[in-house]
Amino acid sequence: MIVASIIIINFNTAPLTIQAIKSIEKHVISLENFEIIIVDNSSENSDYLELKNSIDKIKNLNLTLLKSKFNLGFGGGNTLGVQYANSEYYVFMNSDVILKEDCITTMIEFLNKNKHTSIVGCQAVNENNEKFKGFDYGLSLKSEIFSNSLLQFINKKKYPSRIVNSNEPMVVDAVAGSLFTCVATDFVKIGGFDTNMFLYYEEKDLAFRVKNYLKKQVVLIPKAQYIHLKGKSTKTSQSLYNELKISQFYSIQKNLGFIKYSFFYILHLFIFLIKSPFSKKNRGYLFLLLSGISTAKSIKNKQIKL
């Protein structure tokens, strides 16, 4: 019986994806209860062939490799994987993640015992075992406008430090998208990832809907840790910075409404009119704001295969 489907997106990261698979093979107990679905997001042919050749040599895992004809982004790629999944739980795992223990089974066991919880995440660390921020604050104007330190100063109870020192499971607003598990039926009930977003905010948007529409919890298990080679699967650029802002604005408009969205837009326009002379990145963002920030400007709609 397949208990969980582990879905990994590959986009020109074959060596990292293979490394992630090998860490699953090494650490996950009862591998017969898992299927691994790899979605290739229209990588270069050489990268895809490297991935396929490596996967063909793995015999002791239930592995499926899907190849998309174009880049579907994070939400779209994972949604394609879900179409082929047949299990109680979906585990979404970045290609630049390395398991250091069986945190996947830990997440599933927690969900089995806590039926009021829908999404569970673990603690990401870097190669030096230093912790990344373990969770995210909920989608609101406050959390999108103010810095973490200011939010913590305003209300430390509502906005605790995102660097978690406790080992106890804690209810949070959203967990990191690099590795988390979701109850399959809940994921389907709320329509899964919003594929209008190409990159960024997908897991925050998903958690918002789980909490507000299903009235179920999102939980972080800090004791269970994994290595995240942050930035290895996605290179920074002006277009990716713009993509982050496109997803942010879309998520605010969709979930918080027109009035809050309008306030957020005007505030950002004012801020970046001041900031734009001092940074090329900020000038690019100001141009995006002035030309109309929307999902129509997403990388998703600018793909040209050579």
Residue 254 lies in a domain: yes
Please report the pLDDT score of residue 181 as a whole number. Answer: 98
pLDDT > 60? residue 306: no
**Final residue in a domain of this structure, among 228, 251, 282:** 228
Task: Please state the length of the chain.
Answer: 306
Please report the pLDDT score of residue 182 as a whole number. Answer: 98
Residue 286 lies in a domain: yes
CA angle 265, 244, 234 (to 5 degrees): 170
pLDDT confidence band for 53 (50 / 70 / 90): very high
Residue 201 buriedness (CB in 10 A; 0-12 / 13-18 / 19+) = buried
| In a shared domain, residues 163 and 200 | yes
| In a shared domain, residues 27 and 156 | yes
pLDDT, tens digit, 9 for 90 and up, residues 196-215 = 999 999 999 999 999 999 99
- In the predicted model, what is the mean pLDDT of the chain? 94
Token pair listed for 200: 């960024």
Q: What would the mean pLDDT of 144-169 be, rounded to a whole number?
A: 93
pLDDT > 80? residue 271: yes
pLDDT confidence band for 252 (50 / 70 / 90): very high
| In a shared domain, residues 198 and 115 | yes
Please report the pLDDT score of residue 301 as a whole number. Answer: 87
Q: What would the mean pLDDT of 134-151 be, rounded to a whole number?
A: 94
The model's pTM = 0.94
Please report the pLDDT score of residue 59 as a whole number. Answer: 86
Token pair listed for 220: 């972080």
Domain of 95, CATH number, reads 3.90.550.10
Residue 141 lies in a domain: yes
| In a shared domain, residues 74 and 35 | yes
| In a shared domain, residues 253 and 211 | no
Strand-pair category, 174-175 with 97-99: unpaired
Residue 285 lies in a domain: yes
Residue 233 lies in a domain: no
| In a shared domain, residues 142 and 265 | no
> Distance between CA atoms of 306 and 56, rounded to whole angstroms?
27
Please report the pLDDT score of residue 205 as a whole number. Answer: 97
Residue 161 lies in a domain: yes
| In a shared domain, residues 195 and 99 | yes
H helix count then E strand count, the chain: 11, 11
| In a shared domain, residues 13 and 48 | yes
Residue 205 lies in a domain: yes
| In a shared domain, residues 186 and 129 | yes
Residue 60 lies in a domain: yes
| In a shared domain, residues 184 and 276 | no
Please report the pLDDT score of residue 238 as a whole number. Answer: 82
pLDDT, tens digit, 9 for 90 and up, residues 18-30 = 999 999 999 999 9
**Final residue in a domain of this structure, among 181, 199, 228:** 228
State the residue range of the domain holding 22.
Answer: 4-228
Please report the pLDDT score of residue 230 as a whole number. Answer: 80
| In a shared domain, residues 224 and 242 | no
> Distance between CA atoms of 128 and 101, rounded to whole angstroms?
16
| In a shared domain, residues 280 and 159 | no
**Final residue in a domain of this structure, among 228, 250, 284:** 228
Total domains present in the chain: 2
